[in-house]
Amino acid sequence: MNVINSILSSISGIFGGRQNWTGIEDILDKARDEAIHHIVDNSSTYNPDAILGVTIELSELASAKSNALLICTVTGTMCKKVQFSLV
């Protein structure tokens, strides 16, 4: 979020004035929240004790004929607590 906000701020500096990027920030927040909910919902099948190493990536696919498409990818590792007993 900070990197994207910095990029958008620098673009507004080029064109002059302070732009209100709250609409874009809201969209990015919503994409992140939906991706996290999706990974949690899909993990419920396996009933993990934790999801570790969660990484959130935002990617933009642009086309000359259409608007850009924002893709939010969340990955993580599901972990199940296992108890071992030594005999």
Q: What is the pLDDT of residue 80?
A: 87
Non-local CB neighbours of 5 within 8 Å, separated by 6+ positions: 21, 25
Rounded Cα gap, residues 68 and 64, in angstroms? 9
DSSP 45: T
Check if the beta carbon of residue 78 is closer than 8 Å to that of residue 86. no
The pLDDT tens digits for 21-78 are 567 777 778 888 888 888 888 888 888 898 899 888 877 776 666 666 777 788 888 8
Check if the beta carbon of residue 35 is closer than 8 Å to that of residue 70. no
Asked if residue 3 has pLDDT above 70, the reply is no
Q: What number of residues does the chain have?
A: 87
